[in-house]
A = this chain, B = another copy of it.
Amino acid sequence: MVTLRSLAPRQLQPPLAVTMGDAAGIGPEIIVKAWRARPDLVAHSVVVGDLAVMRRAVALWGDGLEVAVVNALAHLAMLPRGVIPVKPVTSLDSLPVHGQLSGASGKAAAQCVIEAAQMALRGEVSAMVTAPLNKEAMALGGVTFPGHTELLAHQAALFQGLAQPLPVRMMLMNDALRVVLLSIHVPLRQALAAVTQENILQTLSITNASLHRMLGRAPVIFVSGLNPHAGENGLMGDEERNVIAPALALAKAQGLKVEGPFPPDTVFMNARARFEQPGAPDIVLAMYHDQGLIPVKYMGLEHGVNVTLGLPFVRASPDHGTGFDIAGLSQADPSSLVRAIEVARQLSLPVG
């Protein structure tokens, strides 16, 4: 991507953790395929997972790759190419059947995420990239978080001694659009209640800081309205006049480059059409989950990347699920995972 800052030379890259995801899904397959496809990119990265699961994946899709057990990350720099370093976290009783829901796999996947997050919080890795979880499998395994975002927001807060989860936001991006969401996994009715000046200002602040780091400059943030035609001067809703516009005025007074609110049905179209052109928005703030995810997913999930903004470390993931329907069939496409690793590398560059 043109405006992203250049990647540092290989030897300067700080370590990065890739979590295995649900072992019955496509996670292990796309990880192995990413290692084959982009040895340059995955240098100094470690898979946080289950040794037997990763060995099976390498046997199926590794094409000559080998697994190396790595407990001390200092050893990463010494590994030759052609090796997938695995930090073993779980030890499943039996190899999960591809495509089959199980509490054991769900729980193991969550444990890998927790361990990778601890590594990031302790500063051992600079970023984590997460292969997909299955929420139902996690629930069967006794894990009640609906997804990575919520789990990490809680865990990071715990590490810092805070009782409340950190205020994080979900950013979705592909090759033509970036969106950040004001709220995520709540009913649309509750999402309306989350359209507050406080939430908008906090989201803009988190987004501005993260994008600044990513782009090396202050981002231009376009803000969508909530109602049809952005309320059309109060004719079709008043949140734009009463909530969103005043919040944007405050953000501008703080020096943020924000514009809006714009009509929802064209702001994403316009941002895509002008992507990376002079004066174009770098990201669009969506007022609720589907307002942002419908456009960012519309042309397909191949290059979608999900980034959690607001954590004390970098976390990115592919924008697709566990793919239980194609798990084990060698059909999984690692493009989105590769893109997630690229983005995570970008975001974890030292600032300046």
CB distance from A75 to the nearest CB of B (A): 41
- Secondary structure at the A interface, as helix, strand, loop or mixed, is helix
A293 within 8 A of B: yes
CB distance from A280 to the nearest CB of B (A): 15
- Kindly identify, within residues 289 to 314 of chain A, every residue whose CB is under 8 Å from any CB belonging to chain B: 289-291, 293-295, 297-301
Tell me if A237 and B294 are in contact (CB < 8 A): no
In the complex, A290 Cα to B191 Cα: how many Å?
Answer: 15
CB distance from A287 to the nearest CB of B (A): 9
User: A226: which B residues are within 8 A, CB to CB?
Assistant: 188
Segment of A125-133, A151-159, A263-271 in the binding face: A263-271
Segment of A99-107, A179-187, A213-221 in the binding face: A179-187
CB distance from A330 to the nearest CB of B (A): 21
CB distance from A174 to the nearest CB of B (A): 12
Q: With a 10 A CB-CB cut-off, give which of A185, A192, A238, A294 has the most chain B CB atoms.
A: A294
Task: Indicate with 1 or 0, residue by residue over A231-250, a CB within 8 angstroms of chain B CB atoms.
Answer: 11001111100000000000
A146 within 8 A of B: yes
A272 within 8 A of B: yes
Tell me if B188 and A297 are in contact (CB < 8 A): no
In the complex, A186 Cα to B236 Cα: how many Å?
Answer: 5
Q: With a 10 A CB-CB cut-off, give which of A232, A266, A272 has the most chain B CB atoms.
A: A266
Knowing that A187-B228, A291-B294 touch, tell me 10 more A-B residue pairs with CB under 8 angstroms: A185-B235, A188-B237, A189-B192, A268-B294, A269-B297, A272-B299, A290-B291, A294-B294, A298-B298, A299-B299
- Chain A residues at the B interface, C-beta cutoff of 8 Å: 135, 146, 184-189, 192, 226-229, 231-232, 235-239, 264-266, 268-269, 272-273, 289-291, 293-295, 297-301
